[in-house]
């Protein structure tokens, strides 16, 4: 079931109606059954993976907490991590690894014929795997205590709003909200409803319409026109952002109307002024996860590397892993390395730029901020080209066209007009949110302004929105 489908609307209305009349214990039981039904609607066979991961981490969490021997604690932690990453690795990376091993063996003159499997990637596996790891690691680090209530822990893992594409809520945040009674207030219900409405607008009007511009370009292997490639890059920034942020807003809104407070996953990334700022605003739950569970432990372990080089090596390895997390393909790895390189360059030049910009001139600072945002938008556009491309050869062809085959055509102005028309309302709203530093500023507008805004959004979705419930981009991860 897709969030942007009639089937899900019926499903949620039914679930929410029952939720309202149950007590806390049976709310949790019902949500657990609803979450499993929601996942089974995709493929019931993969429920076994969620149940396996849930049971193992529940058992390991108790053992880590009750063990007095540090080696025994570490043993159960490693067992949990290895099982989770092995499941993820088999389904997501097995064929990729052996395909490249076979290619390397052929280059070296060896005969190697591995057996490849026709494996379907279980939807959401990368997200709930990282979520469950926060539980056992948190217990090992003595940040949280394990729960003895298995159904409540199972609900934490399978909670349907965030099951397929996040946000990656941590055990120390979401689990306590499951364990104690929740209060549904007018404020939460109204904010949650707005987030659902705004998320559907981003997905159905902006993202899916931008997809009609992007997909034809990437689906061809013909000689590219550089203008066409550039416009498709711009369109894909809006498509990917509105698709993924739209999903996240809907997920957070669904949780909020039921009394849950989930982590915000996007904070105006289109207004990022540098690459470090971008990763503080884009896919925040993943960025924080990678920072706390990969970057920080890795940085602390690289004691033999001195000076700034320690930072640079840690950043490159971390972003390599982040790129690989997105998918078993070389263009995702290049995507991670690309951003790792930009983060290194940022840390090299940022102190120098900061000294130059200490002018105290407000006008100059505003100009510099605008220039920085525009520059970062283009850095993002190139990065997302690496993310969206289907092969390295396609990346090379597209980048080559930007330099050597850049020419205007009649379609260029039409396509540019479409991009502007689809993105205009988003840019207006987010400019106000950025200026006020408030993602919920819309709710503070007067009644007439809000009603007009809601009507415009609703009208655009009904008249120009893409019908048919197109799948969200991040389901493939």
Q: Report the SS3 class of residue 6.
A: helix
**Would you list the DSSP string of 288-332?**
HHHIIIIIHHHHHH-TTS-THHHHHHHHHHHHHHHHHHH-SSHHH
Please indicate whether residue 326 is annotated as part of the active site.
yes
Q: What is the CA radius of gyration of the chain?
A: 23
- Going by C-alpha positions, the residue among 340, 304, 306 that lies closest to residue 320 is 340
Q: How far lies 441's CA from each of 101, 191, 206, 451, in Å?
A: 52, 11, 21, 14
Q: Report the SS3 class of residue 224.
A: coil
Identify whether the C-beta of residue 293 lies closer than 8 Å to the C-beta of residue 137: yes
Identify whether the C-beta of residue 171 lies closer than 8 Å to the C-beta of residue 144: yes
**Would you list the DSSP string of 132-184?**
HHHHHHHHHTTSS---S-HHHHHHHHH-HHHHTT-----HHHHHHHHHS----
CA distance 12 to 34: 9
Between 362-388 and 330-356, two packed helices, what is the crossing angle to 10 degrees? 170
**Count of helices and strands (H, E) across the chain:** 20, 0
- Going by C-alpha positions, the residue among 21, 43, 18 that lies closest to residue 32 is 18
CA distance 17 to 450: 27
Helix (H) or strand (E) segment spanning residue 385: helix 362-388
CA distance 61 to 83: 14
Token readout for 61 is 């969490």
Identify whether the C-beta of residue 145 lies closer than 8 Å to the C-beta of residue 66: no
Identify whether the C-beta of residue 217 lies closer than 8 Å to the C-beta of residue 272: no
From 24, 283, 326, 342, active-site residue: 326
CA distance 160 to 164: 7
Identify whether the C-beta of residue 191 lies closer than 8 Å to the C-beta of residue 443: yes
Sign of the four-CA dihedral 78, 81, 86, 87: positive
| Residues with a known catalytic role | 326
């Amino acid at each position: 079931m897709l969030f942007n489908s009639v089937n899900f609307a019926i499903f949620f209305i039914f679930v929410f109606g029952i939720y309202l009349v149950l007590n806390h214990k049976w709310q949790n039981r019902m949500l657990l059954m609803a979450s499993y039904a929601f996942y089974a609607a995709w493929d019931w066979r993969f429920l076994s993976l969620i149940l396996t991961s849930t049971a193992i981490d529940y058992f390991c969490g108790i053992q880590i907490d009750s063990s007095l021997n540090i080696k025994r604690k570490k043993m159960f932690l490693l067992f949990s991590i290895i099982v989770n990453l092995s499941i993820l690795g088999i389904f997501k990376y097995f064929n990729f690894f052996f395909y490249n091993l076979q290619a390397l063996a052929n280059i070296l003159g060896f005969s190697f014929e591995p057996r490849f499997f026709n494996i379907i990637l279980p939807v959401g596996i990368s997200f709930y795997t990282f979520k469950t790891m926060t539980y056992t690691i948190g217990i090992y680090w003595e940040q949280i205590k394990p729960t003895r209530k298995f159904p409540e822990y199972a609900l934490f893992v399978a909670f349907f709003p965030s099951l397929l594409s996040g946000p990656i809520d941590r055990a120390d945040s979401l689990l306590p909200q499951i364990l104690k009674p929740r209060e549904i207030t007018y404020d939460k219900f109204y904010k949650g409803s707005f987030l659902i409405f705004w998320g559907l607008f981003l997905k159905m009007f902006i993202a899916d319409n931008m997809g009609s511009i992007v997909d034809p370009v990437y689906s061809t292997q013909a000689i590219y026109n550089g203008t066409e490639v550039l416009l498709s890059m711009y369109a894909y920034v809006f498509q990917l952002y509105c698709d993924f942020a739209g999903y996240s807003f809907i997920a957070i809104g669904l949780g909020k109307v039921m009394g849950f407070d989930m982590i915000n996953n996007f904070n105006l990334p289109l207004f990022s002024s540098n690459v470090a700022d971008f990763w503080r605003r884009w896919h925040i739950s993943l960025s924080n996860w990678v920072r706390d569970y990969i970057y920080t432990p890795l940085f602390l372990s690289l004691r033999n590397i001195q000076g700034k080089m320690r930072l640079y090596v840690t950043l490159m390895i971390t972003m390599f892993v982040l790129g690989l997390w997105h998918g078993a393909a070389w263009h995702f790895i290049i995507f991670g390395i690309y951003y790792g390189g930009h983060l290194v360059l940022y840390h090299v030049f940022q102190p120098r730029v900061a000294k130059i910009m200490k002018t105290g001139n407000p006008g100059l600072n505003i100009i510099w901020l605008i220039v920085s945002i525009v520059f970062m938008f283009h850095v993002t556009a190139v990065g997302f080209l690496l993310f969206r491309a289907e092969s390295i050869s396609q990346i090379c062809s597209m980048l080559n066209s930007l330099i050597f085959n850049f020419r205007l055509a009649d379609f260029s102005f039409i396509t540019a007009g479409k991009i502007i028309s689809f993105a205009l309302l988003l840019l207006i709203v987010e400019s106000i949110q950025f200026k006020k530093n408030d993602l919920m500023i819309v709710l503070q507008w007067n009644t007439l302004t809000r009603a007009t805004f809601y009507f415009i959004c609703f009208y655009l979705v009904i008249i120009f929105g893409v019908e048919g419930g197109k799948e969200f981009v991040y389901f493939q991860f």
